[in-house]
Amino acid sequence: MNIAPNSYSRTRKRLMAAVASLALVGTVGAGMLATGTAPVLADAVRVEAPQMPSFADVVEHVSPAVVSVKVKAKIQPTADDGSDDQDGFDNLPDNPQLRRFFKEFRGFGDQGQGGQFGMRRFNHRDHGNGQPRPIAQGSGFFISEDGYLVTNNHVVSEGSDFSVVTNDGKELDAKLIGTDPRTDLAVLKVDGGGNKFTYVDFADDSKIRIGDWVVAVGNPFGLGGTVTAGIVSARGRDIGAGPYDDFIQIDASVNRGNSGGPTFNLNGQVIGINTAIFSPSGGSVGIAFDIPASTAKQVVQDLMKSGSVQRGWLGVEIQPVTKDIAESLGLKSDKGALVSSAQDGGPGKKAGIAAGDVITQVDGKDVASPKELARMIGAFAPGKSVDVTVWRNGKDETVKVDLGTLPASDKQASNDDNNKQSAPAAKADTLADLGLTVTKAEKGKGLVVTDVDPDSDAADRGIQPGDVITSINSNEVNTTDDVSKAMTDAAKAGRKAVLMQITRDDSNRFVALPVGKG
């Protein structure tokens, strides 16, 4: 049974009318007390209170679609069989920023149940060796009448057996259909034995406004179906969880166990999926993050269809365009993504994209940042041919790229060891205007930085001894004369900065340095 969004229009109207009525009552009541000629007792003023705003209609209809998710895994006992001191952090992706983020709320005193958001560690004793044991508990919701449901990847990632508990208390076995760690989403399926499940639809989250009412339903602390309400606090949040961060922030109370649960609008549609909270204490402080419905909808469809998500791949490493970099390249704004390197054999390099290019558009749509470029390319299917507009040599150029398939590894590009430098033996030269001391690279390509003036712009921008300067404004530099010429040419062209390409630890990056400053 699907839930019709139109059935909630009356709820929205009631909320708005009730709020207006409350304001009116406050005005009338204050006036009566203020204008009285004799002392008035508190119970002398009798005003019929309006019906308070209620989310009951929404909750009544959506609750049957929300479930608690139980996860078990075959865990071999160790010397410390009930080791809860890991707090569930072994379930997190190997991402230092994400782990640091979740450690902000690992506490909960001495309950022994600490863990990442949505995860709960249980004592493993009293279960036979090698038998499935409870390791996690979260939330989920049905998206089809035949039993497909959505939850978080971090809820199920370590599991071997899965079950769900419905709103009416029934526990049903579930099968894992597929996961997508990059967006922290997973799809399970329950066999209803011919019965149809109540399910909910995804909302068009582009219409969500900051300040809109929302309702979160889930399974905090394993308590079962629990409802909290709040508003949309912010959009487009980046918490360092991955390349596709675009979270909706809400202030509805969300705690451990809510992971994978839905957040609804007043029409009973899912605007987002609870996936993270920020809290120094471990409990809710009104900062929770949802995966947007628009992201979840496409990923879930792919998982239901094939059990995995195939994303387009450009095969380049990119970095933000700062104001200094934009100035050095003659760009009018600091929008776009600067290509620091193009992987050998990758789609981008095959199409002619090179280090130093700034990607400004994909298929005519503006690229605001590296994050947005990653989302745009990832939304295309592998093999899709796209037009990529790059800023190169002071003008726009468009190249056609046949996208590849995003590798399973998060490392999308790499360089060989040709740029590794041994300790320089050649005589060092000083570039006083830049605050750098350099020497020729061992293989004659580039200049190795041997010293950096700590008071220079180069030091401020992170250049270090051992960095290899390979080009300035796309021109190769192998001598200090090459550097001086590039600086002079930039000044003559009216540029206030030059773009210096450096290699460090087999990775390329670009640094903008002011012209004529030491």
Helix (H, G, I), strand (E, B) or coil at 111: coil
Sign of CA dihedral 463, 467, 473, 479: positive
Based on C-alpha coordinates, what's the Rg of the chain?
Answer: 29
Single-letter residue type at 383: G
Sign of CA dihedral 267, 272, 277, 278: negative
Task: Report how far residue 404's alpha carbon sits from residue 310's, in angstroms, rounded to the nearest whole number.
Answer: 10
Contacts with 328 (C-beta within 8 Å, 6 or more apart), sequence order:
473, 490, 495, 496, 497, 498, 499, 512, 513
Query: H or E element: which one contains 301?
Result: helix 293-306
Count how many Cα atoms sit within 13 Å of the Cα of residue 305 in the half-sphere of its side chain.
8
Count how many Cα atoms sit within 13 Å of the Cα of residue 110 in the half-sphere of its side chain.
0
154 part of the active site: yes
Task: Report how far residue 457's alpha carbon sits from residue 434's, in angstroms, rounded to the nearest whole number.
Answer: 7
The token pair that represents 333 in the structure block: 């704004």
The token pair that represents 442 in the structure block: 């061992």
The token pair that represents 433 in the structure block: 């205007």
Task: State how beta strands 436-440 and 429-431 pair.
Answer: antiparallel
Count how many Cα atoms sit within 13 Å of the Cα of residue 389 in the half-sphere of its side chain.
14
184 part of the active site: yes
Tell me how far CA of residue 304 lies from CA of 58, 171, 265, in angstroms: 27, 22, 24
Task: Report how far residue 137's alpha carbon sits from residue 285's, in angstroms, rounded to the nearest whole number.
Answer: 21
The partner residues of 390 in beta bridges, in order of sequence, read 359, 397
Active-site annotation holder among 68, 259, 294, 471: 259
Q: Which residue has the tokens 């782990």?
A: 99
Task: Report how far residue 139's alpha carbon sits from residue 285's, in angstroms, rounded to the nearest whole number.
Answer: 20
Task: Report how far residue 476's alpha carbon sits from residue 465's, in angstroms, rounded to the nearest whole number.
Answer: 19
Task: Report how far residue 301's alpha carbon sits from residue 177's, in angstroms, rounded to the nearest whole number.
Answer: 11
3-state secondary structure 269-299: CEEEEEEEECCCCCCCCCCEEEEEHHHHHHH
Query: How many of the other CB atoms lie within 10 Å of CB of 495?
Result: 19
Contacts with 345 (C-beta within 8 Å, 6 or more apart), sequence order:
315
The token pair that represents 218 in the structure block: 């889930």
Q: Would you give the DSSP letter of residue 11?
A: H
385 part of the active site: no
Active-site annotation holder among 87, 161, 180, 184: 184
Active-site annotation holder among 61, 68, 124, 154: 154
E strands, 351-423, are 358-362, 365-366, 385-392, 395-402, 404-405
List, by residue number, the catalytic residues: 154, 184, 259
